[in-house]
Structure formats: structure tokens, C-alpha cells
Amino acid sequence: MKRAFFAAALTTCLAATPAAQSSPAAQAARQWRQQHERAIVEEFMALLAIPNISRDTVNIQRNAESIRDALIKRGVAARLISRPGANPLVFGEIRTPGATRTIGFYAHYDGQPLDPKEWATPPFTPTLRNKVISAGGEAIPLPAAGTAFDPESRIYARGAADDKAPIIAHLTALDAIRAAGLDPVPHVSARRILNRSEFEAFLKEAVTRYGVHRVLLLGGDEPKPKGPFVDSLQILEEGLLAECRVREIGIAGYPEGHPRIPLNALEKALQRKLELAKKQSIGVYLVTQFSFAPARVVEYCAMLARTAPAVSVYVGVAGPTDPVALARYAQRCGVSVSLRALRTLGTGIAQLVTNSDPREQLTAIARYTLHREPSNVAGVHIYSFGGVVKTAAWMRELM
């Protein structure tokens, strides 16, 4: 189980990209900032008012405690890590059950010595000016709550850019995403769970602390289970999700079959999952394996519409990646028809994969949906095999 963490030294390696700016999370953050500018700036100025000269141990401790408390206020499990002769590290983490990567966000809060005589106003008295000092900027009061800040205005204080601004940006993004109701959906791979009690603890923390109510429940592609669970069905049978108050689950569907599980076993497992979920009052949606065989996907969706009409379906689509990697994923995931297609393309594989521009598949799904009222297809699920940023940029260009 990996997680996102914050350290100060607070720990971000994500650059703003055009794709990121058009994502729901970026849009939520922008809207939140516009609606709460005054409160955001006030919190920023309060942090700037705490002197942060690295050798000033008393005020460095105040900075660290202030950042820690701001993280805790937002539901982040945060603490100070102290070492003799060193300034405290602020460490926070948001654990996500089933995560396969850790994303780090970093910023430092301490600063180098300065000469107050070189400052037009005291360095630890944050001052808003109507424009840059070099252009004759004058000190002005903060605008009234609900009034937008002039984009030409500037805040002058030590650390206003390097490096307290990113700390407030991270905190504001957390506020914005949670206020927008964007749901974190842990991906649970049953065969990779090492310990039942640890998994249960993660689920409970995710639900109670971070508002998780939906989980994507997968069997996993490990040849042998690493812990107590043989498959995703077993987790449902033990009632663990209901006990932890998970209210909805996503389950996997296989338009081209599974490399190790017979078709009749897949069908029985799906039916059993639906029965158990209903009995436990857990909602269900289905995410299909990615495929380059649109006809197979349409057939599969039509079959589900007949056998499980109440289940929403998200069609799996592979995002852009290199041909070799995608062929490897296809083989690993048992996408048999697609894998044979990839092998027969030879050098033409690049056309299929690198972007795999999925318009043929999406068009087929759209036609299927258009002729069904209501349709069981609720959307698409993008597999970001080539990386999140690359996939997001591709989605922005496509849409």
C-alpha cells in the first residue's frame, strides 16, 4: 500500500501543464481560489509573518508547527520529525489502499539570513502593493471578502515566492478538490494484499478520515496470492468492504476473456459478486479490460445489458504508450484478440498504439449507446500505461 506524502522541507514534482489545467481537479482548484481568494491570502500572509531565518530555531519551530497544523486541519496525517542539530521536518501522508505508486510534494519553509535595510518594508510584515515596487507600486489594504484581487498586485515578504507560496498552493488544492467532491477511488488488488488486518485498517482510515466510499476491486495479476485473498470475490464473501462502510465497488469485466480463468468461471464469479453486493447493500459498476477489438466490446456490453441491466459499464481504453509496452500489457492482461492484431501489424503497430487514437472504438461504443435507451455504458476508463501526464495531455487534445 503506497501513498501520497507531504514534507516540509513540505515534498512537489508535478509541473503545471496545459493538460493539467483542463483536468477536473485543476478546474476545481481554480474555482475554489476565485471564490476564496481573501481567506487564502490571509492564511498565506499569516505564514509569511513568522520569521523563517534558518538559524532562528524558535521561529523555525513555529513555522513547522503552523504547517503541520494546517495539514492536520485538512485531514492529512501530519507530524514533525526532529533530529539533533537540524530543523524539524514536517511530514504528512494521505494513504490510499491499493495504490501502486507514491507521489511526493516538496517545499522548504526556512530561509537564508537577510539584511532588513535592503527591504522597503519589514521582510516579515507582509505587504500588498498595487504593482511591483520598481514600477512605483504602493502599499494597499486587502480587498474586501468577495472582491477579486487585481492580478497586477504583489505581496512583498520574505518567502512570498521561494518557498512558502507552494505550501499554500498545496493546501489550497487539497481544500478545492475535497470541496468539489472529487472522489478518491482506491484500486484494490486482492492477490497483492499481504495482511487482512492491515488491509482492514487502511480501508477504515480511508473511509473515516478521507471520505472514501468507492473502491475498484480487482483480483490482480500475481501468479500466486501474496496474502490471504485468492481473488476479489473472497473479499466480498468475507464482508470486509461492508464492515468498513464502503458503499460502492467497481468490478472487472473481460470482453476478450481472461488468460487464466475459463469463461464459465468468469460468468459465475460476476453473478456471485452482484448477489453479494446486493445482499450487503453495496452499489456496483463494471470496468472493462482495455481492448482494440471494438466489436468484442460492443458484444460484451450488449450481453451485460441483457444479464445485468442495472450495472453501469465503463469501457476500458488504453491511453498512449509505446508499442512494445502496450503489447506487453496486452499479453499480461490476456487481451487475446487485440494481442493477435498487434502481432499481425508488424511495423504498422505504431499507428495503432501511439495513439492509439481510439476513435474507432469510441465511435463503436457511441453508436451502441445511441441505439440503446437507456444505455448501460456510463463512460470510459482510461488506462494510463504511458504515464498520467502524457495521458492527460492526450485526452485534452482528443476532446
Q: Are 191 and 229 in contact (CB under 8 A)?
A: yes
pLDDT digits (tens, 9 = 90+) for 252-307: 999 988 878 899 999 999 999 999 999 999 999 999 998 878 888 899 999 999 99
Query: Is residue 221 situated within a structural domain?
Result: no
Question: Based on the domain organization, do 161 and 284 belong to the same domain?
Answer: no
Cell of 2: 503506497
Distance CA 231, CA 235 (A): 7
Name 142's Cβ contacts closer than 8 Å, sequence gap at least 6. 38, 41, 42, 128
| Ranges in the chain, pLDDT < 70 | 1-26, 28, 95-100, 181-182, 331-359, 373, 398-399
Query: Is residue 335 situated within a structural domain?
Result: yes
The backbone region for 319, taken as left when phi is positive above 0, alpha when psi lies in -120 to 50, beta otherwise, is: beta
Question: Based on the domain organization, do 38 and 163 belong to the same domain?
Answer: yes
pTM for this prediction: 0.57
Return the pLDDT at 181. 67
Query: Is residue 197 situated within a structural domain?
Result: no
Question: Based on the domain organization, do 163 and 260 belong to the same domain?
Answer: no
Q: Are 221 and 232 in contact (CB under 8 A)?
A: no
Burial of 234 (0-12, 13-18, 19+ CB in 10 A): middle
Question: Based on the domain organization, do 256 and 163 belong to the same domain?
Answer: no
Question: Based on the domain organization, do 170 and 251 belong to the same domain?
Answer: no
Q: Are 328 and 294 in contact (CB under 8 A)?
A: no
Return the pLDDT at 110. 94
Return the pLDDT at 21. 45
Residue at a domain's end among 150, 178, 206: 178
Return the pLDDT at 118. 94
Radius of gyration of the chain (CA): 25
Return the pLDDT at 347. 44
Question: Based on the domain organization, do 281 and 368 belong to the same domain?
Answer: yes
CATH (domain of 382)? 3.20.20.220
Query: Is residue 373 situated within a structural domain?
Result: yes
CATH (domain of 40)? 3.40.630.10
Return the pLDDT at 399. 61
Question: Based on the domain organization, do 265 and 369 belong to the same domain?
Answer: yes
Query: Is residue 225 situated within a structural domain?
Result: no
Question: Based on the domain organization, do 146 and 294 belong to the same domain?
Answer: no
Query: Is residue 394 situated within a structural domain?
Result: yes
Q: What is the DSSP string of 273-303?
A: HHHHHHHTT-EEEEEEPP-S-HHHHHHHHHH
Question: Based on the domain organization, do 142 and 260 belong to the same domain?
Answer: no
Residue at a domain's end among 178, 206, 232: 178
Query: Is residue 211 situated within a structural domain?
Result: no
Return the pLDDT at 139. 95
Q: What is the CB-side half-sphere exposure of residue 208 using CA atoms within 13 A?
A: 9
Q: Are 222 and 228 in contact (CB under 8 A)?
A: no
Query: Is residue 201 situated within a structural domain?
Result: no
Question: Based on the domain organization, do 174 and 251 belong to the same domain?
Answer: no
Where in the sequence is the domain holding 166, given as residue range(s)? Answer: 3-178
Bridge partners, residue 288, by sequence: 253
The backbone region for 281, taken as left when phi is positive above 0, alpha when psi lies in -120 to 50, beta otherwise, is: left
DSSP assignment, residue 49?
T
Return the pLDDT at 44. 96
Question: Based on the domain organization, do 20 and 168 belong to the same domain?
Answer: yes
Question: Based on the domain organization, do 251 and 172 belong to the same domain?
Answer: no
Return the pLDDT at 358. 65
Q: Are 390 and 320 in contact (CB under 8 A)?
A: yes
Structural domain count of the chain: 2
Return the pLDDT at 12. 29
Burial of 162 (0-12, 13-18, 19+ CB in 10 A): exposed
Residue at a domain's end among 152, 178, 204: 178
